[in-house]
Amino acid sequence: MKAARQHAWTLFAAALSTLLVAAPAQAIVSAGSTPTALHSEADGDAEADRQAVSREIERFRSSSITISQAMAIAEARHAGATTADVSFDGASGVPVYRVKTLHNDRIWRHTINAATGELVGGEAALPLAELDHDDRSNLAALGAIRHRLADAVRVAERAASGKAISGGLVREGGRLSFAIVVISGDDLKEVILEPPGARAK
């Protein structure tokens, strides 16, 4: 999941604290300047980075399929699957969502066409046993909590008044959280939602 997290956050990072639906919510929305993870590591040209982000956001806005629909499409491939990570990718020829789901001790990778909702190029699975200890621990916690990434996306979209473009699991300071990036107007708003019961033991 480290590689998955790095890919998801290469475009969008997350940083807002709140609790999910069942617990009292406290929201701090940060917006404005481009998050650090949006800047290209290979190119320090801030203007080129800003233009690339603008193109990505424009492609996202013109997509017919929402992030919630993409997660539902991927989860429907395997009864009982839950989404661990999702991100929009408008850099390729056809804009897609990259969705990773957890099912039967495997991480399934799906690519969903953002215009049609069709699965692109099949799916791939990675056994959890091949992941490192931290990633396995995070995914075990995901399976144990009752809230899902789809719940976190709905809460983040309401809190930030926009549409989610990426989301996934992060662990910081011993806390497992859902990290969501929302596009609101011309701003990116970064959101972290901590599910009740997700703290490290």
Residue 4 has pLDDT above 60, yes or no: no
Q: What percent of the chain has pLDDT over 70?
A: 75
Mean pLDDT across 48-66: 88
* Least-confidence region, from 134-143, 151-160, 192-201: 192-201
Mean pLDDT across 45-68: 87
Q: What is the pLDDT of residue 83?
A: 93
**Alpha-carbon dihedral angle through residues 39, 44, 45, 49, given to the nearest 10 degrees:** -10
